[in-house]
Amino acid sequence: MKKLTTLILLAIVAMMILTACGGQATPTAAPAQPEATEAPAPVATEAPAPEATEAPAPEATEAPAPEATEAPASVVEGCEAPVVELKEVPREDTVVLGWSVSSPIGVTNPWAVPGYTHQEANNFMWEPLYWFGIFADKEIPWLAESMEYTKEDFTELTIKLNPLAKWSDGVPVTSKDVVFTFEGQIQNERLAYHGQFLQFVDKVEAVDDQTVVVTFKQPAPRFMFEVLMLKFDTGIPIVPAHVLEGVDDWNAYPGCFDMPHSGPYTIVSWDAAQKILDLREDWWAVEAGLIEMPQVKRIVMVNLGGQIGQNMDVVAQRLVNNEMDSALDMRSDLIKNILAQNPKITTHTGNNPPYGYLDWWPNSLWVNTQLEPYSDPLVRRAFNRCIDRDTIDEIVYEGAKIANVYPFPLYPGLQAFVDSPEVQALIEQYQPRKFDPEEAAALFTEAGFTQNADGLWEKDGNTISGVINAFPGIHSDIAPVLEEMLRNCGIDAATNFGDDAITNMTDGNAGFYMWGHGASLKDPYAAFELYHGRFSAEIGTTAGTNRWSRYSNPEYDAILDEMAPLASDDPRFHELAVQAMDIYWRDVIDIPIIQWLHRIAYNQTYWTNWPTQDNLAAGSNGAFWAHTGQLVITNLKKAAP
């Protein structure tokens, strides 16, 4: 049984590693991210760069494609692969993307659980009511022309659909589809947002073919953004009622290759080696004037094989050789080699560090705050004083300011919060970035520890277990640096990249847990809510994803409970958020380490208008595997000949 549990946990981590930070238990005051199906920033999308291997020059011959060792060999039962002769599409009309494609061949239904993932090109088929462009900090109406709260207390939401929206079979997208999608989330406990719908939604009514009114059980000021807008790996797409209403088991229905969808691309081929989608020239969004006809006529998602993060030297070579236009994100040394070998390749920050953009998964060293000695705030404050964030920036990120003191990413709305005079005053008070081993020593002494002959702090004959539980595919650059800092500070530190790392986190074992915060994007509530006492699992029980701290504080909970029904522009919301920030730093609930980065190579040999810091494009992040990858690809422009 223990072995089975471990395997299940590893499977969950693999999903988190592919998606982008979510996975909480259902809250009672505000929407959280879904459990296990949508998770933190791609944990396995980065891999260590080869130690001494440089990417070849552009004139190198074609790189061998790695074997698709993890991909399925046959079509899922109940589906028939398309029997069509692929039309010829020139390379200059095709975008080639490198990823690991391991989901069952034929699963395209967003409600197929388990089996479905948007990350393996299904995101090019499905659309939301609204997108959210994180770097433009803007809402992008799509299937809906408008969504607005029509009661001041945020208990009613009115949705007006775009009358030109259609499914790929020509059937109009109507309020019936929205009602079906929402009621399905309420009824089916296996769907990712079931908890949020069950908690908040009282009823969903179709007023006419283009109008839906949602009535909430309680104020839900963040529901529209958190649940109904697609961004990164969160939110829900709208599904076709005329297809699924006749299906007995929504979760078992794969969708296959011909499931009607509203998005711009349709699967024309899918096997163990690759997945191919062609543009639908009748895509409704063009007629509706939302976007010009996409110049990308074909998408080829090449299966890199093996586990995500493997074969990165081969991936780099294929990018340099112009065989691929983009691929999964990678580590700093490798992407530097790529940039040096092919001048047509760029990144979010061009040729300059950190070669990527902020993802929504800032990483901390979490500890079980119920377990001694980590339960003592003095000890946690000492841990924080042992971290030299300036050195992390210099060694790991080549001088880029990535080391972090917040549990949320500094996107525009959150940057405005931390720039406020009230938060700046807290920074002056707590100095959360301060590196001071002498102060750490004083704090350990105050907590009752003494240094032994080996220079390690101990109490009652026991040293402090400083084992860093982490993941080699994404933490191999920073974990050794942190280990050395902690050991130099008198902590019995080590690094554990083993399969039991995730088990140690869920079980709350002694040591540190290197993990992110999949939560806030616009305001800090969702990140602060991660530490609400209702999620504080007792020792001996399993902690939910992103709930590793097991922190419980009635004072803190009362602040969060008062924040929940308030809009983020309410002055009282800001006051309460500052109070929560105060407690986060005062108690050192976890030890924030870094903002998370996506370092993605964009090859401009065939395609331009990739989203970068100097060219927002559609305003989304540049991960083609995220929900908003559809915006990335449909806004690409052909390179000049």
Any domain includes 402: yes
CA distance 236 to 130: 10
Q: Convert the pLDDT of each residue in 473-497 to its tens digit.
A: 789 899 999 999 999 999 999 999 9
How many C-beta neighbours within 10 Å does residue 170 have? 9
The answer on pLDDT for 54 being more than 70 is no
What is the model's pLDDT at position 85?
83
Token duo for residue 588: 């050192």
Cβ atoms 281, 255 nearer than 8 A = no
For residue 473, is it within any domain? Answer: yes
Please count the structural domains in the chain.
1
Could you give the CA distance from residue 383 to residue 493 in angstroms, rounded to a whole number? 11
Amino acid 63: pLDDT: 34
CA distance 140 to 212: 18
Reported as a pLDDT band with limits 50, 70 and 90, residue 309 is: low
CA distance 200 to 196: 6
pTM: 0.85
The per-residue pLDDT for 518 is 86
Closest CA to 20 of 616, 601, 521: 521
Does residue 404 lie in a domain region? Answer: yes
Asked if the structure places residue 405 within a domain, the reply is: yes
Looking at the domain assignment, is residue 471 inside a domain? Answer: yes
Average pLDDT rounded to a whole number, residues 86-96: 97
| Number of other residues whose CB lies within 10 A of the CB of residue 387 | 25
Of 541, 537, 485, which Cα lies nearest the Cα of 512? 485
State which residues form the domain around 553.
363-595
Asked whether residue 614 is domain-assigned, the answer is no
Cα–Cα distances in Å, from 268 out to 104, 107, 123, 257, 443?
Answer: 16, 14, 15, 8, 63
Residue 216: φ, ψ to 5°: -100, 150
Report if residue 302 sits inside a domain: no
- Judged against a pLDDT cut of 90, whether residue 169 lies above it is answered with yes
> Residue 17: which residues within 8 A CB-CB, separation 6 or more?
39, 42, 43, 44, 45, 308, 309, 471, 473, 474
Q: How far is CA 591 from CA 121, 135, 407, 616, in A?
A: 36, 26, 9, 32
d(CA 514, CA 508): 13
Give pLDDT tens digits for 215-265.
999 999 999 999 999 999 999 999 999 999 999 999 999 999 999 999 999
Assigned domain for 256 exists: no
By residue count, the chain amounts to 641
Distance CA 355, CA 350 (A): 6
Query: CB-hemisphere CA count at 13 Å for 377?
Result: 10
Looking up residue 550, the CATH number of its domain turns out to be 3.10.105.10
